[in-house]
């Protein structure tokens, strides 16, 4: 498959030591050669693959030096895109890197679309679709755990498992076809039903195993939406600052200081929390604070985890009871804060209101209890265990939806066997399972979906 040559800046914009302008395509080396000048008179078209060369980027029209660079040359097919790739390493200033990009465009390259380098790697068979999606997961990883999951997917761990299951299905489909083509052999149908039952049960079990990892995988990929709620001045902002280990929120003794929703990412024992500090939920005449309270109620509805903060140095109030009612049925950890002050709260009443929810006591002022809280969060979502290195996690929402549909299709196969449905009808659901799994790795996916997925990538990747 042949494409035109594309170019883009592959490093974040802004000041830095180095910036990289990447070219990919059949003419990548020739285009780079038109704007590259080596002190030794070296031509990039003649150099050995996978070597790096010092020189200058020049304007071929004027001969003026635009930038001092190191240029890496990598020849197809042993490159990320399986095309010729050139990476121009220049100084990381906005002016210099844009100047190099413009000269590459003038020399014949086209500006790459978002994710087009990775898209070409997929279209040229270098990686499958699940591996391509893992590239973006790796870039966005917030913790070591999330990065390890993305790396495993990039290495093809999920692809290999899906490929093996699809091969199992293919062999059964082939056997069914033999049964349909040669119906005169009576024993073939009996064996086909027996084989179908055995294989479909195995495939369902393997798919269910994968789906069981999806909650943890999705949390690792997207972060756990965690909302801190409580009456004003119970220590919500102090909790945010303690978890982030930075003074992100203003902390005062004045109730209603937090007027809006504050959002931060934090790594808690390998669990990425998308941590939201809310305005204290209470009735108020202050119009600005009232808007903040309404926003707090909105984010509450979308939360995966609620950290409900109480003031241990104050009485358990009707407002506290209303907060417990508001989070009924959600995953909640109750935090009794300000234990450094004389305790006034009735902990027995707290336990009754909390029910099955875990209770942690803290003194955020004295930095006590944070470890207990982090342990409680880890245990709630990961049973306190670090994932096995060889475990395959499903973290992508698209993959989860397709796995769910595939399990339903294989359930239909098993139901058809129980009802004695003819083999050729059962085969339809079996083939549907095969197609759904193929969509995960890109074997049976539509072009419009491919374009949509890669459009979400950053430019230059």
CA–CA dist 7, 81 (Å, integer): 13
pLDDT at 220: 67
306 and 424 belong to one structural domain = no
The CATH number linked to 51 is: 3.30.1360.120
Per DSSP, helices labelled H in 182-260 are 186-212, 214-222, 236-244
373 and 398 belong to one structural domain = no
For 147-173, what is each residue's pLDDT tens digit?
Answer: 666 666 667 778 888 889 999 888 888
pLDDT at 12: 82
In sequence order, the β-bridge partners of residue 310 are 336
400 and 364 belong to one structural domain = no
Contact 377, 401 (CB under 8 A): no
Q: How far is CA 84 from CA 31, 49, 131, 298, in A?
A: 11, 9, 21, 50
CA–CA dist 341, 53 (Å, integer): 66
250 and 365 belong to one structural domain = yes
Angle at 180 between CA 179 and CA 185, to 5 degrees: 45
For 199-254, what is each residue's pLDDT tens digit?
Answer: 899 999 999 988 877 666 666 666 777 888 888 788 887 888 888 765 443 333 43
Asked if residue 387 is part of any domain, the answer here is no
Mode of pairing for the β-strands spanning 36-37 and 271-277: unpaired
For 279-314, what is each residue's pLDDT tens digit?
Answer: 544 444 444 445 555 665 666 777 788 889 999 889
177 and 296 belong to one structural domain = no
The CATH number linked to 446 is: 1.20.120.430
- In this prediction the pTM is 0.58
Contacts of 448 (CB under 8 A, 6+ apart): none
Collect contacts of 340-344 with beta carbons under 8 A, ≥24 apart: 340/365, 340/366, 340/368, 341/312, 341/313, 342/313, 343/312, 343/313, 344/312, 344/313, 344/314, 344/315
401 and 364 belong to one structural domain = no
Contact 437, 410 (CB under 8 A): no
For residue 376, the Cα-to-chain-centroid distance in whole angstroms is 24
User: Which one has a higher pLDDT value, 165 or 180?
Assistant: 165
The CATH number linked to 286 is: 3.40.50.300
CA–CA dist 265, 306 (Å, integer): 15
pLDDT confidence tier of residue 423, bands split at 50, 70 and 90: confident
Q: Tokens 């995988």, residue?
A: 217
14 and 70 belong to one structural domain = yes
Which of 42-46, 140-144, 156-160, 425-429 is the most confident on average?
Answer: 42-46
CA–CA dist 429, 413 (Å, integer): 6
Asked if residue 121 is part of any domain, the answer here is no
Instruction: Spell out a b/e string for 415-439, using b for 16 or more CB atoms within 10 Å of the CB, else e.
Output: ebbeeebebeebbebbbbbbbbbbb
72 and 140 belong to one structural domain = no
CA–CA dist 61, 32 (Å, integer): 15
User: Which one has a higher pLDDT value, 400 or 191?
Assistant: 400
Q: Which domain holds residue 283?
A: 223-382
CA atoms within a 13 Å half-sphere pointing along the CA-CB vector of 438: 15
CA–CA dist 414, 195 (Å, integer): 11
- 4-8, 294-298, 347-351: range with lowest mean pLDDT: 294-298
Q: Tokens 């595939």, residue?
A: 406
Angle at 294 between CA 289 and CA 300, to 5 degrees: 125
Q: In what order do the strands lie in the sheet with 224-230?
A: 262-268, 271-277, 224-230, 305-311, 332-337, 358-361
Question: Which of 325, 350, 382 is a domain's end point?
Answer: 382
Question: Which of 382, 405, 430 is a domain's end point?
Answer: 382
Domain count, the chain: 3
Question: Which of 112, 142, 176 is a domain's end point?
Answer: 112
Q: How many CB atoms lie within 10 A of CB 227?
A: 25
241 and 196 belong to one structural domain = no
pLDDT confidence tier of residue 269, bands split at 50, 70 and 90: confident
374 and 238 belong to one structural domain = yes
Tell me if the bond preceding 77 is cis, omega within 30° of 0. yes
Asked if residue 125 is part of any domain, the answer here is no
H/E element holding 305?
A: strand 305-311
Asked if residue 389 is part of any domain, the answer here is no
Q: DSSP character for 46? A: G
Asked if residue 388 is part of any domain, the answer here is no
232 and 339 belong to one structural domain = yes
Q: Tokens 């755990």, residue?
A: 145
pLDDT at 184: 57
Does 382 have pLDDT greater than 50? yes
Phi, psi for 178 (deg, rounded to 5): -60, -40
Asked if residue 1 is part of any domain, the answer here is no
Asked if residue 340 is part of any domain, the answer here is yes
236 and 364 belong to one structural domain = yes
Sort 185 into a burial class: Cβ within 10 Å, 0-12 / 13-18 / 19+. Answer: exposed
Asked if residue 312 is part of any domain, the answer here is yes
Output the 3-class SS for 366-404. CCECHHHHHHHHHHHHHCCCCCCCCCCCCCCHHHHHHHH
Give me the sign of the Cα torsion angle 65, 70, 73, 79. Answer: negative
């Amino acid at each position: 498959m042949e494409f035109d040559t594309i170019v883009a800046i592959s490093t974040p914009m802004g000041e830095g030591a180095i910036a990289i302008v990447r070219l990919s395509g059949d003419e990548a080396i020739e285009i780079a050669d038109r704007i590259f000048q080596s002190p030794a008179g070296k031509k990039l078209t003649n150099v050995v693959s996978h070597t790096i060369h010092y020189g200058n980027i020049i304007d071929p029209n004027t001969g003026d030096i635009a930038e001092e660079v190191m240029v890496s040359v990598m020849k197809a097919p042993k490159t990320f895109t399986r095309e010729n790739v050139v990476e121009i390493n220049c100084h990381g200033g906005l002016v210099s890197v844009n100047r190099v990009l413009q000269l590459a465009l003038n020399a014949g390259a086209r500006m790459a679309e978002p994710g087009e380098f990775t898209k070409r790697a997929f279209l040229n068979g270098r990686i499958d679709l699940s591996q391509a999606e893992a590239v973006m997961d790796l870039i966005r990883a917030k913790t070591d755990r999330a990065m390890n999951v993305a790396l495993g997917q990039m290495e093809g761990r999920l692809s290999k498992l899906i490929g093996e299951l699809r091969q199992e299905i293919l062999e059964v489909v082939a056997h069914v076809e033999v049964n349909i083509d040669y119906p005169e052999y009576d024993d073939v149908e009996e064996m086909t039903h027996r084989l179908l039952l055995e294989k479909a049960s195995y495939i369902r079990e393997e798919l269910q195993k994968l789906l069981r990892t999806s909650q943890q995988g999705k949390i690792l990929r997207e972060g756990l939406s965690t909302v801190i709620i409580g009456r004003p001045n119970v220590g919500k902002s102090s909790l945010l600052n303690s978890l982030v280990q930075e003074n992100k929120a203003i902390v005062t003794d004045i109730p209603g200081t937090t007027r809006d929703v504050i959002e931060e990412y934090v790594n808690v024992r390998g669990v990425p929390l998308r941590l939201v500090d809310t305005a204290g939920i209470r009735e108020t005449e202050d119009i600005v604070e009232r808007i903040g309270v309404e926003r707090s109620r909105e984010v509450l509805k979308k939360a995966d985890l609620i950290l409900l903060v109480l003031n241990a140095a104050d009485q358990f109030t009707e407002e506290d009871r209303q907060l417990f009612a508001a989070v009924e049925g959600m995953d909640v950890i109750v935090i009794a804060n300000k234990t450094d002050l004389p305790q006034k709260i009735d902990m027995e009443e707290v336990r009754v209101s909390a029910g099955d929810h875990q209770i942690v006591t803290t003194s955020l002022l004295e930095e006590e209890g944070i470890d207990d809280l982090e342990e409680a969060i880890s245990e709630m979502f990961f049973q306190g265990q670090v994932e096995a290195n060889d475990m395959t996690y499903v973290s992508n929402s698209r993959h989860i939806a397709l796995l769910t549909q595939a399990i339903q299709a294989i359930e239909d196969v098993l139901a058809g066997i129980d009802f004695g449905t003819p083999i050729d009808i059962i085969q339809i659901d079996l083939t549907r399972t095969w197609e759904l799994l193929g969509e995960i790795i890109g074997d049976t996916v539509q072009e419009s979906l491919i374009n949509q997925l890669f459009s979400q990538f950053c430019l230059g990747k």
